[in-house]
Amino acid sequence: MSSLPMVAKAMRTRDLSSYSLANLVMANVGNLVYAVYVVSLPLGPVWGLHAFNGVVAATMLVGYVRFRSAGRRSNRSGRRDHRHDGAQISRGRTSAPHTWVK
């Protein structure tokens, strides 16, 4: 449960730059190895804990790869990637809340 704020912030801001790809991959590989043990146990609380852990790790890995590649596409085209500064592009706002694009 302690990872919920971390995941919520990462998905809200789409900024996973503080995470390492190697760490996220290792966490997912570890969860897969541990799953071999968990499925040998009778159905119980450990299944729920492992399922939560696996979903969180997989979500973070997918988000890292997805948002990193989306940022690279935007930066290659010469445009600034506004997702990281809270800009509301869809409403015509730039990164400064008081400046409007016409």
Predicted TM-score (pTM) of the model is 0.61
55, part of any domain: yes
Both tokens assigned to 65: 């790869």
101, part of any domain: no
Contact assessment for residue 50 and residue 94, using Cβ atoms and an 8 Å cutoff: no
Higher pLDDT, residue 66 or 74:
66
pLDDT digits (tens, 9 = 90+) for 3-33: 778 788 887 888 888 888 999 999 999 999 9
Residue-number span of the structural domain to which 67 is assigned: 4-91
Largest interatomic CA distance in the chain: 62
Give the whole-number percent of the chain exceeding pLDDT 90.
38
Residue 80's pLDDT band, with cuts at 50, 70 and 90, is: very low
102, part of any domain: no
What pLDDT, on the 0 to 100 scale, is given for residue 45? 94
- Which of 55, 56, 54, 45 minimizes the C-alpha distance to 3? 56
98, part of any domain: no
100, part of any domain: no
Q: What is the mean pLDDT of the chain?
A: 76
Domain count, the chain: 1
Higher pLDDT, residue 66 or 87:
66
- Which of 59, 61, 58, 52 minimizes the C-alpha distance to 20? 61
96, part of any domain: no
